[in-house]
Amino acid sequence: MKRIITVTVLNQSGVLNRVTGLLMKRQFNIESITVGHTEQPQISKMTFVVNVEDEQKLEQLLKQLQKQVDVLKVNDISEKSIVVRELALVKVVSPPAVRAEINSIVEPFRAATIDTGKNVVTFQVTGNSEKIDAFIDLLKPYGIKELTRTGVTAFVRETQKVHSTQLSILQ
């Protein structure tokens, strides 16, 4: 099962290495990972998308992360109501003849054109991973020349559904 896990860490050198090394050592598959500073200068937040076999493995993952000295907080936010965002840059073959057609396709995705050449155009799109997958699928037939995705970052919403299940770290 796919889980979104946020890890709040002290900004020590090597902390990213520690966390990814731990996941590697324990045979967890990372699908994507994003890292960045938070509002506090000494603290960074990582967002992982991982694939785990079952609840037991998930609990083990959360506990092992929590055990790291530089890790302040671990949250599995998969079941919460969250805002999930990923950004993709997509360079697509776009000769003048089909450009209008392509533009009409990307329009509902609110993608921005950030670079144009004679026969190519580069779009920037943000949203959850499914939206980006759909965007890419639609552009594929025209020929994608280059593609890069940032991986997911996420935020827990202010208002939560009443019954959100979450595994506790201790017990």
Residues that bind another protein in the complex, under the rule CB under 8 A: 9-10, 13-14, 17-18, 21-22, 25, 56, 59-60, 63-64, 66-72, 169-171
158 three-class SS: coil
- Closest CB to another protein among 69 and 100? 69
- Cα within 13 Å of Cα(37), Cβ side: 4
Pair of tokens at residue 97: 């003849």
- Closest CB to another protein among 21 and 141? 21
- Residue 143 beta carbon to another protein: minimum distance, rounded to whole angstroms: 42
85 alpha-carbon distance from chain centroid: 6
- Residue 66 beta carbon to another protein: minimum distance, rounded to whole angstroms: 8
- Closest CB to another protein among 15 and 106? 15
Sequence-distant (≥ 6) Cβ neighbours of residue 67 within 8 angstroms:
none
- Closest CB to another protein among 29 and 116? 29
- Residue 132 beta carbon to another protein: minimum distance, rounded to whole angstroms: 33
Cβ atoms of residues 92 and 102 within 8 Å: yes
- Cα within 13 Å of Cα(39), Cβ side: 0
- What Cα–Cα distance (Å) separates residue 95 from each residue in 23, 79, 107, 117, 147? 44, 44, 18, 9, 18
- Closest CB to another protein among 112 and 167? 167
- Residue 4 beta carbon to another protein: minimum distance, rounded to whole angstroms: 21
- C-alpha span between 87 and 109 (Å, rounded): 12
- Residue 78 beta carbon to another protein: minimum distance, rounded to whole angstroms: 19
